[in-house]
Structure 1
Amino acid sequence: MTNQTPLRAAVIGAGYWGPNLARNFRNGPDWDLVAVCDLDAERAAKVVGGRSTVEVMTSTTQLLARDDIDAVAIATPASTHAHLALAALEAGKHVVVEKPIADSSRQARKMIERARELDRVLMVDHTFCYTAVVAKIRDMIAAGELGEIHFVDSVRINLGLVQADVDVFWDLAPHDLSILDFILPGGLAPTGVSAFGADPIGSGQSCVGYLTLPLAGGTVAHIHVNWLSPTKIRQMVVGGSKRTLVWDDLNPQQRLTVYDRGIDLDKMVDGRQKVAANVSYRLGDAWAPALPEREALGQMAAEFAASIREHRPPRTDGEAGLRVLNVLEAAGRSLAGNSGLTPADSMAQVNV
């Protein structure tokens, strides 16, 4: 628990994610929730609840004009993120915004530059980066416990809400992309992006999608997202030269399992390059690291407060949000080009 005076926050947006943000800013020791703002006053009032001193507001202009608010959390559609965040920054507020950071990399860059110019914190709510399991995965990779990373395979599928404004890539893949950006040394830096999407129900956009991201050193990451699966799967496999780990987010008793199993391949035999005949299988133990159970959003809110007080970039800053957004845009160009590989230099140049 902090002994410092709580920072004062407001939440903009009382739809799907706003209530979760409001609850954590209200309950966390670092924050005092001052107001919840939504165009629908009744919906905002439900988030605030009865017998509350938290104010319900319907005007972001009036909200941002208040001098008793230090920071705002934005939980509105992606198309509104840049406008609201820029207005909040201009009003002197620190900003945390729901993923994705914006609906274009051009807008994201504008947000990042303005936050830097105004010396305000700009943070993206990449929630999974604040879970104990993802922190553990990152620590294991950084310590070399997995060895060289050979592949990452991620599955995020369920019978989900087919959305009108975004496809399945923009809806679900930011979670996996933000995790990759957090756990991989050097962050999310694919040499290219290849995307394949399908719309078997005729919704007008991809409801099933596959992303392939070649990475430096021959590593490859693959992400499968799907709104149409009758079963819900949240699983990531990270394979290394020493060990492989499996993260099953739907198994709270054993979210993470580490396997000391794999394939060893001699590099040289009789002076010749390695060949398939020199494969040997390593069959070791499997174990489950102990992980603390804590709410990720509470950790995110604490990190937001710490970054403001310590005048430093947050763990998931605007640049992290931009890296994720660059991949999403590259995926869109790949889809438009019949799922061809979008080179990394194309990702860097677009919308500069």
Structure 2
Amino acid sequence: MKPRIAVLGCGYWGSNHIRTLKGLGALHAVSDANLARAEGFASEQECLAIAPDDLFARDDVDAIVMALPPQFHAATAVRAVEAGKDVLVEKPVALTVPDAERAVAAAKASRRVFMVGHVLRFHPAFEKMKALIDAGELGEVRYVHSHRLGLGKFHTENDALWDLAPHDLSMILAITGAEPVEVKGEGAAVLDHLSDFAHLHMLFPNGLRSHLFASRLNPYRERRLTVVGNKAMAVFDDVEPWERKLAVYRHAVWQDSGHWAFTTNEPTYVAVEQGMPLTRELEHFIHCIETREEPRTDGEEAIRVLRILTAGTVSHDRAKAPASASAGA
């Protein structure tokens, strides 16, 4: 039998977990502070609706997927693992590093699976990109930059950096295999006191540098991760159709008589198996529950991501321009 999983939090992303787990045959229950909302999903998906305070003591619940406002993640995860439940916690896993460390330590002490929802690590295009890097197809990686831009997803607790950057940081950490030794953050608050634009500049131990740009106040969508090696460059562009999501550029750059010269080549589009990242993520969670393997996106990675977010956070005063005028500028 597959593990019996409950989803705690029936909001936008929680509803995606609910429907995906139902398709995987592992959805046992849903739970939400708004009981009517939970009962609606329970009726739709033919599962149980359980009040949050009753969820942790249930013997018929093996694991919990948490899609809560992030300020509740850490304490709820501690409660779950101490009650003997395996957990998948959506990002960010906490709002402070000490809170994340407590949750991870509690999971280890209880010998529970602790996984974090860095879903793009399970995107087939990123997995293929990572395989190319590991195989040496790009040569030595020298620079990584990511852009995650769009309009919307405004929160009262999270700024653009904390809301949008964890996915990209998880991918960058997977590529570099190390934590940065220097982090510099820049931000801009336009609508209120929270940053709507954020830049992170990172330096890694081997000299590799990385840049991340996140915005929730941008007129167009961009979801692009670029890796520059000394043999080739690769671009994972999630806005493109499947046949163009992963491109490899084999440009050549050299010195000729003391001057730099280069040639450009058309990109080679790498075939990528189609698949929904959330489905693959939850399949991995189920696999880890069944085998007791350490998740690919475990608690230690979540702590590393939080350390970078904390180091790169910039405080702002409330924007002086009226919000409506700023948003339309």
Q: Give the TM-score of the pair, scaled to structure 1.
A: 0.85
Shift of residue 145 of structure 1? 0.8
Does structure 1 residue 263 correspond to structure 2 residue 263?
no
In 2, are the aligned partners of 1:209 and 1:226 still within 8 Å (CA)?
yes
- 1:89 pairs, out of 81, 84, 95, with 81
Query: Which range moves more in the overlay, 71-80 or 285-294?
Result: 285-294
Moved more, 279-288 or 90-99: 279-288
- 1:336 CA displacement: 5.0
Residue 212 of structure 1 and its aligned partner are, at CA, apart by 0.6
2:46 maps to 1:53 = yes
Task: Report if aligned partners of 1:244, 1:262 keep a CA contact under 8 Å in 2.
Answer: no
Out of 83, 102, 119, the residue aligned to residue 127 of structure 1 is 119
Amino acid across the alignment from 1:23: R
Match of 1:160 in 2: 152
Q: Does 1:113 align with 2:102?
A: no
Q: Shift of residue 221 of structure 1?
A: 0.7
How far has the Cα of 1:43 moved from its partner?
A: 1.9
* Aligned partners of 2:3 and 2:290 also within 8 Å: no
Shift in Å, 1:174: 0.7
Unpaired stretches in structure 2, ≥5 consecutive residues: 317-329
Counterpart for residue 13 of structure 1: 9
Checking the alignment, whether the CA contact within 8 Å between 2:104 and 2:299 is kept in structure 1 is yes
- Structure 1 partner of 2:31: 37
Q: Is the contact between residue 200 and residue 207 of structure 1 (CA under 8 Å) also seen in structure 2?
A: yes
Residue 321 of structure 2 aligns with which residue?
none
Aligned equivalent of 2:181, options 168, 188, 191:
191
CA–CA distance in 1 between the matches of 2:201 and 2:173?
15
CA RMSD across the alignment: 1.7
Q: Secondary structure at the match of 2:251?
A: strand
Tell me, what secondary structure is at the counterpart of 2:129?
Answer: helix
* Cα deviations by residue, 1:216-236 (Å, 9 ceiling, x for unpaired): 332211111111111111112
Corresponding position: 1:323 with 2:315: no
Give, as a single letter, the amino acid of the residue that structure 2 aligns with 1:53. Answer: E
> Following superposition, which runs of at least 4 residues in structure 1 exceed 3 angstroms of deviation?
282-285
Structure 2 counterpart of 1:281: 262
Task: Give the match for residue 348 of structure 1.
Answer: none
Identity %: 34
- Give the match's secondary structure for 2:310: helix
* Matched residue type, 1:47: F
1:254 is the counterpart of 2:244? yes
- Does the residue aligned with 2:147 lie in a helix, a strand or coil? strand
Q: Which residue of structure 1 aligns with residue 54 of structure 2?
A: 62
Q: Secondary structure at the match of 2:150?
A: strand
| Aligned 1:293-332 pairs, distance under 5 A | 293-332=274-313
Q: Provide the rounded CA distance (Å) in 2 between the counterparts of 1:233 and 1:313.
A: 32
The offset of 1:69, in angstroms, is: 0.8
Please, which runs of 5 or more residues in structure 1 have no aligned partner?
A: 270-276, 338-352
Matched residue SS, 1:216? coil
Q: Deviations over 1:187-221 (max 9, x none)?
A: 4x1111111111133x1111111111112332211
Paired amino acid for 1:56: A
Per-residue deviation at 1:310?
A: 1.8
Displacement of 1:45 in angstroms is 2.9
Deviation at 1:282, TM superposition (A): 4.1
Aligned residue pairs, count: 315
Q: Which of 128, 138, 141 is equivalent to 2:130? A: 138
TM-score by length of 2: 0.91
CA distance in 2, matches of 1:210, 1:48: 41
Partner of 2:213: 224
- Partner Cα separation in structure 1 for residue 312 and residue 250 of structure 2: 34
State the alpha-carbon separation in 1 of the partners of residues 263 and 205 from structure 2: 25
Q: What do the CA deviations read for 1:154-180 (whole angstroms, capped 9, x no partner)?
A: 111111132111111001011110111
Contact 1:178 1:320 in 2 (8 A): yes
For residues 244 and 207 of structure 1, what CA distance do their matches in structure 2 show? 29
Which residue does 1:24 correspond to in 2? 20
Secondary structure at the residue paired with 2:244? coil
Q: SS in structure 2 opposite 1:257?
A: strand
| Letter paired with 1:204 | H
How far apart, CA to CA, are the structure 2 residues paired with 1:248 and 1:328?
23
